[in-house]
Amino acid sequence: MKETRPLTSQNDSKATLFLIEDDQADVFLVKRALAKHGGNIALVNARDGAEALEMLRGGEIERPFVILSDLNMPGMSGYEFLDEIRADAALRDSIIFVISSSNLAEDVNLAYQHFASGYIVKEMEPAKMARSMQLLFDFCEIIRLPS
């Protein structure tokens, strides 16, 4: 028999933003934006897709979480990471936003073909990037996430 758990408010448990990013300057920018945001979001970082999978499968990242993954990483690319997650029965319902410096339609379309939940462009203009991060942080706090 399937175990049922009572529904709780998203605000009852702290959401985790799991950032998969090898560029430490980009990690710093997300940390800085999150510090300015405040709120109830933890930030965990993995340097590449293989490390992220190990952390997820090893139970190091507790639900609820939202994944923010770069596309161009050493070793396992963001696309390969998406494929691995979507093929894993325990993780396939994960919310995964891609973040990339590319604004090319083919890159955006390919991310969605690999079942990304959303695509964020790394904006060079600080105000635009701050707006993108604010939207992501609000999503983490407001949207009911898989548990």
Domains and CATH numbers, the chain: 17-142 (3.40.50.2300)
Comparing 5 with 122, the larger pLDDT belongs to 122
Angle at 106 between CA 105 and CA 110, to 5 degrees: 115
pLDDT digits (tens, 9 = 90+) for 47-77: 999 999 999 999 999 999 999 999 998 889 8
pLDDT band at 39 (very low <50, low <70, confident <90, very high): confident
Distance CA 111, CA 119 (A): 7
pLDDT digits (tens, 9 = 90+) for 82-133: 999 999 999 999 999 999 999 999 999 999 999 999 999 998 888 888 899 9
Q: Is the pLDDT of residue 3 over 90?
A: no
Strand 41-46 and strand 15-20: the pairing is: parallel
Q: pLDDT value at position 5? A: 38
Position 139, amino acid: F
Strand 118-121 and strand 41-46: the pairing is: unpaired
Angle at 87 between CA 19 and CA 112, to 5 degrees: 60
Tell me if the pTM is above 0.85.
yes
